[in-house]
Structure 1
Amino acid sequence: MKTLEEWFAEYAVSHQNRTNKKIHYICVPAIFFSVVGLLMSIPNRGLISLVHSDNFLYVNWAVAALILVIYFYLRLSLRMAFYILIFATLCVIGNFYLAKIGPLWLISLIIFSVAWVGQFYGHKLEGKKPSFFKDLQFLLIGPAWILNNWFSQPK
């Protein structure tokens, strides 16, 4: 199994262009946020009966999926799993309140689509294919790479 540093090194190869990096700093979190919103939009009747609660904030398909996502990161780094847990929690809370404004699935779909257009534009500038074309696990490495860059920047 690769270490987190090995994943980051491989991911960084197709993320050297300054503009592409800036685009990723916006679009990768937006995609993560929108996927959480899309998952929260799935009716959760099965989950409600399973856990005997109907609290939409924590009984939804996004939280169920994020448990698996956190496990993926725990296998790589306790610190990164903690960062992702904080970010994922903020995404769930943000989507909870976004759902009060309008149809969450539609808002999430728009964010998702716009962010992916940005991602592909960034890779066009970079001149390299997105990493996930090589390995789908890079879809989970991208958010960690962004958080790692945010938290490791000199002050």
Structure 2
Amino acid sequence: MRDIERLLSLYGESHQNKTNVLIHAIAVPSIYFVTLGLVWSIPVPDWLAQFNVTWAHLIAVPVLYYYFMLSGPIGAAMTLLTIASFGGINLLVYLDISVWKFCLALFVVMWILQFVGHKIEGKKPSFLEDLRFLLVGPAWWWTHWLKRMHISY
């Protein structure tokens, strides 16, 4: 069994209840977005800022590398989510909405929702056993869409 299949299978064990799955379908990509937004909000040194690069851009590179190492289609899908997330961050900036305040508030709400989902499920979150599951969650979210498009991961 490939590593991605094993990780997704283990993650899926604590995500069987339809309500929990629905909550995660909303919360997981939202948390990915707001985490990038929070990291984007950390000030960068002037030498880096002159290239219009943030910490979020720098962190996205090894994160996406990890996803591509797990699976090409998952890596490509996560690249799309990353691009959409940066687009959302740029929209917040354009609308003059504080990125860090918006992202922090949404981060708290989405994590509360996830814990509610796990309470309903009756199983603890996977990341409490292995921190890699913080990255597996978005991949798991994408597998549902990839299956619908008949793309194997």
Q: TM-score, normalised by structure 1?
A: 0.90
Q: Deviation of residue 51 (structure 1)?
A: 7.7
Matches within 5 A, 1:18-37: 18-37=18-37
**Among 113, 124, 129, which residue is 1:129 paired with?**
124
1:61-80 equivalence runs, <5 A: 61-80=55-74
Rounded Cα–Cα distance in structure 2 between residues aligned with 1:103 and 1:154: 36
SS state of the match for residue 70, structure 2?
coil
Amino acid at match of 2:68: L
Matches within 5 A, 1:1-155: 3-45=3-45, 48-50=46-48, 52-53=50-51, 55=52, 59-100=53-94, 101-153=96-148
Cα distance between partner residues in 2 of 1:67 and 1:137:
16
Return the offset for 1:114.
0.3
- The alpha-carbon deviation at position 11 of structure 1 amounts to 0.4
Q: Structure 1 regions of 5+ residues with no counterpart?
A: none
Give the Cα–Cα distance (whole angstroms) in 1 for the partners of residues 149 and 70 of structure 2: 24
| CA shift for structure 1 position 143 | 0.2
The gaps in structure 2 that reach 5 residues or longer are none
Aligned length: 149
Given that 2:48 and 2:54 are in contact with CA atoms closer than 8 Å, whether structure 1 keeps it comes out as: no
Letter in 1 for 2:10: E
CA RMSD of aligned residues (A): 1.8
* Identical aligned residues as a percent: 40
The offset of 1:64, in angstroms, is 0.6
